Structure 1
Amino acid sequence: MANWFGLDRLFVAASRKALNSWVSPDVHTENLADLKLDPNKPVCYVLQSPSLSNALLVDRETQQLGLPRALKPMDTHLFREDQSFFYLTQEASSQSAAKNRFEYADRFVRLVEAVRQNPELDVQLVPVTILWGRSPDKEESLFKILFSDSWSSPGAIKQLATVVLNGKSTLVKFGSPLLVRSLMADDMSESLALRKIARVLRVHFRRQREMAIGPDLSHRRTLMNSILQSGAVRTAIHEESVEKQLPPEAIEEKAREYVNEIAADYAYPVIRSLSLLLNWLWTRLYDGVEVHHFEEVTKMASDYEIIYTPCHRSHIDYLLLSYVIHDRGLMPPHIAAGANLNIPVVGPILRRGGAFFLRRSFKGNNLYAAVFTEYLHLITTKGFPIEYFIEGGRSRTGRLLPPKGGMLAMTVKSYMRDSTRPIAFIPTYIGYERLMEGSTYIGELRGKAKQQESLASVVMAARKIEKIFGKVHLSFGEPILLDDILEQENPGWKKQQWDVEAKLPWVNRSVSKLANQINTNINSTAVINPITLLSLVLLSTPNHAIDEDVLVRQLELYQQLALRLPYSNKIEVTHMAPVNIVSYGVQLKAIQRVKHPLGDLVCVADNQAVFLTYFRNNILHLYIIPSLVACLVQQNGEIQREQLVRVISSLYPYLQSELFLGFDASEIESLVNRHVDTLTEFGLMTSENGTVNSPHPNTEAFAQLVVLGEAVKESMERYYMTITLLTQRGSGKVKQKQLEDLCSLLAQRLSVLYEFNSPEFFDKGIFRNFIETLKKVGFLRVDEEELLHFDERLINMAHQAHLVLRPEALNTILHITSVSDEEIASAMAQLEAKGKKKGQG
């Protein structure tokens, strides 16, 4: 091996001077406090492979951080070495290579032997990872990217170019110290001790590099052959060969085509190039990208297979999440993208950036399903972080969509096959202040054909609206460990033998529980930004207009509620003052100020009301309980706390299912009482001797209570409409699909006639979710003919509506749902014809 420090002292001194003047790395110091170096034990730093520049850099950084110097002697009365570091990987000699023998650094061998021979001696090994060109926020040149760190070891010339080009964009990470004595047994031989300690260090360096630039899976042909030779794919090839009476070679070629269609072709230089492009894009489009709670991801990345499961609001989500992860020093995930994005020019770039493509449905194509499942298993077990959207598509309403379990089920089954590396799901909230695809979403909700999803459509949408997008927020939620979910459903499952292809009820329950928990955790890390707050307030006012001073006080009330009674410890609330929130909304053209001699008014800007429902729905779940408390108190004038708790407890399962609320049913009583106490403290109600009273109708407090209570009204109106339709038709008279269609049609009519025409109000998926929850709690059952049956409990639930809804709202719903059987039959026929025409188109 080359002995760098046997070189002329002048050369080393000159190299040190040049490095000190040119290189300014990003040193990850967040773990230095955890180093806890013992001053009574010598410290030896471990570098992965021979490099003079790395040794000089570590020496400089240890000096600046006040740590023992790397190039100074290790000198105790028990042990002495000229320098305090060694390289783990050596340059293999021809003799050792011929014997296929691993060669250890002489200093490494000596210190292990010294610890073995002297019971009083121990040495602290501190692994140091250096990644040249891995400080994304400082990257400026595509040329530099070619000379950044990868899995291949650079030669001396390339290393020199790397230092020159990337000296100011380099990452240095100090690992936690390892005690030599703790890594070997007392009776362990020298060779065995060296092998064990080297293995631990190699694992550390590999994980650090995987976290930053991903696993070494560069040979795509090897990956393809591994998939094609797997048992599941071979079985699928054989079965299709028999079924279609084609030679196995022809079916294997089709499977090979599927692999090419699906698999990413990950190229780190492309990732780095995209990072430069995206940095320019965010600067141009947004006022900033704010990231919350990422530190938990960093802590888990080295020990867990990370699967990011963000909400899906825009095509920008793909790019944004990868950019943020890369910008913070971790490897961008492989992203499950729809096959519709695999288009010329764009598709290959995304594929090289880590995207893998999947079709909307695997139904009827067992070979494709086997290939895709095996590919997912391979990249999961190889340690690649993965990202997919469990909602199945972008939300058109701003609410989280009911999760689809397909990708989750495949992930769970993959883990059951190989559970050596634990899996952590990272629910991620993404919040915008303006949305590129907004007009497209509104059109689709109103019945227009869904536009073909593509990045080109995003670009076209961006050209049609002013480029005022405000800020974007990414908030990383509480991780969910797959082991915990599986153990809850089947304790000790790892000790049992499973056929993962069999239909196992406990696995299905685990997938369902996991999916629901992901959505719940996404909502538990939401960000209350200025636009969501303005939307929540203004859409709860008559004509969507309000006195500016009153608006400011209402905004302050909502901020204080979120701070005093936080939905969770991960919720972020804008620190912007209410007065500035109003100005900010005007700046983003979401609202407009109307001058008036008696005081300025604020109203929703022209044609923005429907768009603002999207942003209101981003945080509606955070205020649904205080809104329901306010609604019940204001509507009834006075109400017993006991009755307040009882009514909210009875409604909670439906709100929880619709909004993925994170509270357990057992918490509702305490939750309601805390809100009553806080709203009483704010002066919005009074409470005495178990009775809660509304303020006088002519007071400002009453007006604030009315606005707060409006947020829950739409949900209550939908629930009452569904129950009214059911009870009017009668038990066993209507099928679920017919009921969903009819509810949507009548809600659309109600929205046009009596509310502002918001397509979110008559979203069929919300009605479907409510009906499913009624079935889940036992208020509805389905017979063999798929007809819905109910009993007195549903009728009693309808009778409670007067506690929540105003008499005029109840009468309106009763009137609009009073349709004859002939009218229903006609409407259903029209819907069916429309559906057939759409399908033919």
Structure 2
Amino acid sequence: MNDSQPAPRPPEAAQVPAWLKAFGALLRPWIRIHRTPEDVHALLPDDARPTVYVIERYGLSDTLILEQACAEAGLPSPYAAADELPIKRRRAVVALSRRPRVFGRQPHPTRSETLSLLADFVRAQPGHDVRLVPVSIFVGRAPDRESGWFSVLFSENWVVVGRFRRLLALALNGRDTHVQFAAPVSLRDVIADQPEPERGVRKLQRILRAHFRRIRAAVIGPDLSHRRTLIDGVVNAAPVQQAIDANASKEGIDRDKAARKARAFAWEIAADQSHLVVRSASFMLTGLWEKIYRGVHMNHFAELRKIVPGHEVVFVPCHRSTTDDALLPYLLYRNGLPVPHIAAGVNLNLPLIGPLLRRGGAFFLRRSFSDPFYSTVFREYMSQLIARGISLMYFIEGGRSRTGRTLEPRGGLLSMTLRSFLRQPDRPVVFQPVYIGYEKIMEGESYIGELSGKPKEKESWGALLRGLGALRDNYGAVTVNFGEPVFLTPLLDRIEPDWRVATTNPDAKPAWLKAAVDTLGERILVNINRAAHANPINLLAVALLATPKHAMAEADLLAQLELYKALLSSLPYSERVTLTSLEPAEIIAYGEKMQWIRRIAHPLGDVLTVDAKQGVLLSYFRNNVTHLFATASWVACCFLNNRRLARTSILRLGRLIYPFVQAELFLPWSEEEFGERIQKTLDFFIAQGLLEADADGRIIARGPGQSDRAFRLRALAHTLLPAIERYYIGLALLVKNGPHTLTAGELENLCHLSAQRLSLLHELNAPEFFDRSLFRGFIQKLRERRVVWADENGKLDFDLTLEEVAKDARVILSREIRHGILKLTPEKQAELTRNEVAASTEA
């Protein structure tokens, strides 16, 4: 390098050529720019350093779009910025790749002469620097519904297109142009540690190319043009090769046949995502959502956008409806993120539908992973996706919730994701919980049937065609809330500080893996619940289903809704929980409009009621948000059968029951935090006039049982009361039968039958009241906390303290409910259990 470099040249006004102005004027009506971030000035500090814009690919259209974006953002245009450069250039723009010229000397395809000259200058002038601003430009990433089907063919992708195709893209999709500015890069900082100037320039270009690849992958998705190469990589991976050898030996077949079997597994599993199909689906779904929903609302998406670059993102939404599979990917795509690869059951791989889903990004998995050969191939496929930085989406609840409750997590896919990360821990993994809240679901009728004992209808073309009739209805609004993300590395650091040792053996299954998967699954579901949305239908369901006949006087319903809104606003469950903006009267009017509730006119005041069938369906929407009212409902439960209670008694009983409520509803607090929340809730009720405290605040009392205040507390208590009744069923049956009498399975059957009987006697028509899985989870939590344990014969044992716990239920439950539970004799229970077991065996 020549040591005597010229000082910065005197500025000479850079004039935009007249022909370029003409092209810009012609292009401007066709271009509408969506700029990220909106306030670009926050990225560019006000200093004297000259600015050079860096774009990914050279093109006249990109230069004109950049100039228009700079003008709209109030930044110096590329031509005005050239005045400040220390080298003579017409415009302050650097393109990392260029098209070949038709005439003249061909430019180097990847080396920039401008960057080399600027690097020479900065090296020779210690007091000077140049800031490089990367700018990503995408034309027609997601065409609007009005753009026409033809426009999707000319949207942005990974292919470097020619001038004519670019012109068509501008004409068809120019009004959906995305320009993304990035934080500036200091040229001096990058080349400072390089002994040779050209090496510094090559390093800078590698950094910039990596940046543009990352942004392009984040905006339009990864390059998916090599599916066959990916499958070859799966089959040729060492774990699959070992599985091929094992399978050939086990089944006594030729190794080539075993290899073909592995390849068939991979082809059965692998997605074949097509940007064209994704864009076409986006186009079609826009019309569908507009037809069946009154609006689709998103919250906390900006926080997600910040973490996507540089992370492997795994979307883990709750699973409430079949539309979840399409709705969330659609929203991600329409808001600037790529469509993830979506895990789908192989039962959806129907003729015609399966290939379409596969092209949309679905990869298929079998319901059972009992075949270790298939399991190895599937796990390797997941590892290949993660290694390539392809975002994933799957439901950790296993299937759709038929009751509206958050279901227990299934650890299969979580375990595979975690093990894939351990093999290649360079790219950080983040799990993004997503809450999806509906006001009406298409599957309502089928859910009622399945909960009443009808078998689930298998997926088929016939079922699909029958389901098309549901598209004629309107299903209200949908709210999609993005919860607090779960970063995998910090979570592993807390569980096992030496987890990185496992990365030295890619096939290892460390002893702490199960604990990590369980903790991860629970944390995801907790964060889904912490992002819930309380919509008008949720609030109406919580209020009206708390009454025996599912009816309330309008004045009472207005007061109850006002209480719920005040409670959720004054004691927010978390910062990501959202609440309907409608006032109580508007909520009632909306419920009538959606035909969930019916008004009965009466001279003494109208009554709002729910029909029997609608009541069962509304229990689904009540269960969506039960966790939001858990603490308040517990406090209200304490005053169902008591006029006065000591504050310490409420706290003691709350801490006693909390582990079981926490496990069932995936609540976020520790026992100490739950105690603090009880204190705040008591203070809230006292401030609302629903409870009263004595002079020193130790004794809490409610008003007379027939007062409006007592009625409002009773209605609120009903939200958690069925869970407490279920717990008492389990404890009472254990105590009454005695230790060393029942196995865990027999106790579960007894609980299920007792709850069924109670629901018939007391009109407890909530479908989840006698749900086996809830009793199973309760018994498991009893065992985890060593309240009960299994003896050498598998029978449950416990000490006498359990009897005291069962007696505490008298504080909460009415005598009528307790009598109904205790009425079953041990002999009758044993007979029912034997019959139930026999029936299950025959089935």
CA distances 1:458-477 after superposition (whole Å, capped 9, x unpaired): 66346269613101111000
Q: Which letter maps to 1:824?
A: A
Answer with 691-700 or 231-240: which moved more. 691-700
Equivalent position to 1:105, from 108, 112, 117: 112
1:143 pairs with 2:150: yes
Question: How much has 1:109 moved relative to structure 2?
Answer: 1.6
> Does structure 2 conserve the Cα–Cα contact (< 8 Å) formed by 1:633 and 1:692?
no
How far the C-alpha of 1:452 sits from its partner, in A, is 1.4
Aligned to 2:428: 422
What is residue 11 of structure 2 aligned with on the other side?
none
- What are the superposed Cα offsets for residues 537-580 of structure 1, whole Å, 9 maximum, x if unpaired? 11111211110111011001000100000000001010101001
- The corresponding residue for 2:211 is 204
Aligned to 1:281: 288
| Alignment correspondent of 2:342 | 335
Query: What is residue 129 of structure 2 aligned with on the other side?
Result: 122
Residue of structure 2 equivalent to 1:82: 90
Provide the rounded CA distance (Å) in 2 between the counterparts of 1:771 and 1:798: 14
Q: Does 1:783 align with 2:798?
A: no
Aligned partner of 2:32 in structure 1 is 24
SS at match of 1:88: strand
Cα distance in 1, alignment partners of residues 128 and 103 from structure 2: 33
Deviation at 1:111, TM superposition (A): 1.3
Whether 2:232 is the aligned partner of 1:225: answer yes
| Structural mapping, 1:147-166, within 5 Å | 147-166=154-173
- Higher alpha-carbon deviation: 256-265 or 729-738: 729-738
Work out whether 1:706 is the aligned partner of 2:737.
no
Could you list the per-position Cα deviations for residues 613-661 of structure 1 after superposition, in whole angstroms to 9, with x for gaps in the alignment?
1100000000011011011134211111111111001100000000000
The one-letter code of the counterpart of 2:358 is R
Match of 2:671 among 665, 675, 695: 665
Deviation at 1:14, TM superposition (A): 2.5
Conserved 8 A contact 1:437-1:458 = no
**Contact in 1 for aligned 2:635/2:717 (Cα 8 Å):** yes
Which residue identity lines up with residue 728 of structure 2 in the other structure? Y
CA offset digits 1:7-50 (Å, max 9, x no partner): 99454233111111221122223462531333311111111011
Separation in 1, partners of 2:66, 2:458: 52
User: Residues of 2 paired with 1:514 and 1:193: CA distance?
Assistant: 43
Cα distance in 1 between the residues matched to 2:232 and 2:284 = 34
Range moving further from structure 2, 112-121 or 71-80: 71-80
1:303 aligns with 2:306: no
Say which of 547, 551, 564 aligns to 2:570: 564
Amino acid corresponding to residue 196 of structure 1 in structure 2: K
Structure 2: unaligned runs, 5 residues or longer: 1-13
Deviation, 1:115, is 1.3
Query: CA RMSD, aligned part only?
Result: 2.2
Q: Give the CA deviation at 1:827.
A: 4.8
- 1:31 touches 1:174 (CA, 8 Å); kept in 2? no
Contact 1:334–1:354 at 8 Å: present in 2 too?
yes
**545-554 vs 137-146, greater mean Cα deviation:** 137-146
Aligned to 2:410: 404
Inter-CA distance 421–187: structure 2 relative to 1 (3 Å threshold): closer
| CA 1:820–1:461: 2 relative to 1, 3 Å | farther
CA distance 1:344–1:257, shift in 2 (3 Å) = same
For 2:554 and 2:144, the matched residues in 1 are separated by 41
- Select which of 580, 584, 589 maps to 1:578: 584
Residue 794 of structure 1 deviates from its aligned partner by 1.6
- Which of 738, 747, 753 is equivalent to 2:755? 747
Residues 103, 140 of structure 1: CA spacing in aligned structure 2 closer, same or farther, 3 A cutoff?
Answer: closer
Match of 2:560 in 1: 554
Q: Deviations over 1:157-177 (max 9, x none)?
A: 111111111111121111111
2:328 alignment partner in structure 1: 321
Match in the other structure for 1:268: 275
For the 8 Å contact 1:417–1:500, the answer to whether it is kept is yes
- Partner residue of 2:185 out of 178, 194, 200: 178
- Cα distance change, pair 17–465 in 1 and its aligned pair in 2 (3 A): closer
Amino acid at match of 2:121: A
Deviations 1:406-457 (A, max 9, x none): 0000000000000111000000001111111112112212221122146864
Whether 1:386 aligns to 2:373 is no
- The one-letter code matched in structure 1 to 2:763 is E
The 2-side partners of 1:705 and 1:8 are apart by 73
User: 2:435·2:531 contact (CA, 8 Å) conserved in 1?
Assistant: yes
Alignment-derived partner of residue 3 in structure 1:
none
Whether 2:523 is the aligned partner of 1:533: answer: no
| Cα 1:495–1:196 shift into 2, 3 Å | farther
Q: Which amino acid aligns with 1:582?
A: I
Q: CA deviation at 1:834?
A: 4.7
* Alignment pair present for 1:800 and 2:808: yes
C-alpha distance 218-132 of structure 1, shift in aligned 2 (>3 A): same
Q: CA deviation at 1:500?
A: 4.7
Structure 1 position 520, deviation (Å): 0.3
Structure 1: distance between partners of 2:682 and 2:783? 31
| Amino acid aligned to 1:703 | F
For 1:102 and 1:566, how far apart are their aligned partners in 2? 57
Deviation at 1:785, TM superposition (A): 2.8
**Which ranges of structure 1 fall in alignment gaps of 5 or more residues?**
1-5
Matches within 5 A, 1:678-717: 678-688=684-694, 689=696, 690-717=698-725
TM-score calculated relative to the size of structure 1: 0.95
2:257 corresponds, among 250, 254, 276, to: 250
Q: Quote the offset at 1:155 in angstroms.
A: 0.7
> Residue 498 and residue 442 in structure 1: after superposition, are their counterparts in 2 closer, same or farther (change >3 A)?
farther
Distance 2:674 2:143 in 1: 46
8 Å contact from structure 1 (residues 96, 102) kept in 2: no
Identity %: 38
Amino acid in the other structure paired with 2:797: H
Q: Corresponding residue for 2:496? A: 490
Instruction: Give the Å deviation of 1:745.
Output: 1.7
The equivalences for 1:710-729 within 5 A come to: 710-729=718-737
Instruction: Tell me the alpha carbon deviations over residues 672-707 of structure 1, each in whole angstroms, 9 at most, x when there is no partner.
Output: 110000110000001122111112223211111111
Matched with 1:345 is 352
| 1:471 lines up with 2:477 in the alignment | yes
Of 46, 50, 68 in structure 1, the residue corresponding to residue 58 of structure 2 is 50
In 2, the alpha carbon distance for the partners of 1:464 and 1:48 equals: 46
Classify the secondary structure of the residue corresponding to 1:542: coil
The answer to whether the aligner puts 1:37 opposite 2:55 as a matched pair is no
Contact between 1:37 and 1:177, CA under 8 Å: does it hold in 2? no
CA shift for structure 1 position 826: 4.8
Deviations 1:132-184 (A, max 9, x none): 11145566322111111111100111111111111111211111111111222
State the distance in 1 between where 2:628 and 2:810 align: 24
The count of corresponding residues between Structure 1 and Structure 2 is 828
Q: Once the two structures are superposed, what CA deviation does each residue of 1:717-761 show, in whole Å capped at 9, x if it has no partner?
A: 100011111112211111111211221122112112212433221
| Counterpart Cα distance in 2 of 1:346 and 1:552 | 47
The 8 Å contact of residues 73 and 81 in structure 1, kept in 2 or not, is answered as: no
In structure 1, the partner of 2:139 is 132
Q: Which amino acid in 1 is paired with 2:163?
A: A
What's the offset of the Cα at 1:214?
1.3
1:769 maps to a residue whose letter is G
Please give the secondary structure, in 1, of the residue aligned with 2:364. strand
Aligned position for 1:627: 633
Match of 1:368 among 374, 380, 386: 374
Deviation at 1:383, TM superposition (A): 0.7
Partner of 2:767: 759
Change (3 A) 1:820 1:137: farther
Structure 2 equivalent of residue 654 of structure 1: 660
Shifted more, 772-781 versus 488-497: the winner is 488-497
CA distance in 2, matches of 1:531, 1:466: 20
**SS of residue matched to 2:279:** helix
More displaced stretch, 417-426 vs 441-450: 441-450
Normalised TM-score (structure 2)? 0.95
**Separation (CA, whole Å) in 1 of partners of 2:692 and 2:705:** 14
Kept in 2: contact 1:309–1:390 (CA 8 A) = yes
8 A contact 1:138–1:169 mirrored in 2? no
Q: Does 1:605 align with 2:611?
A: yes
Task: Determine helix, strand or coil for the equivalent of 2:481.
Answer: strand
State the SS of the aligned residue for 2:714: helix
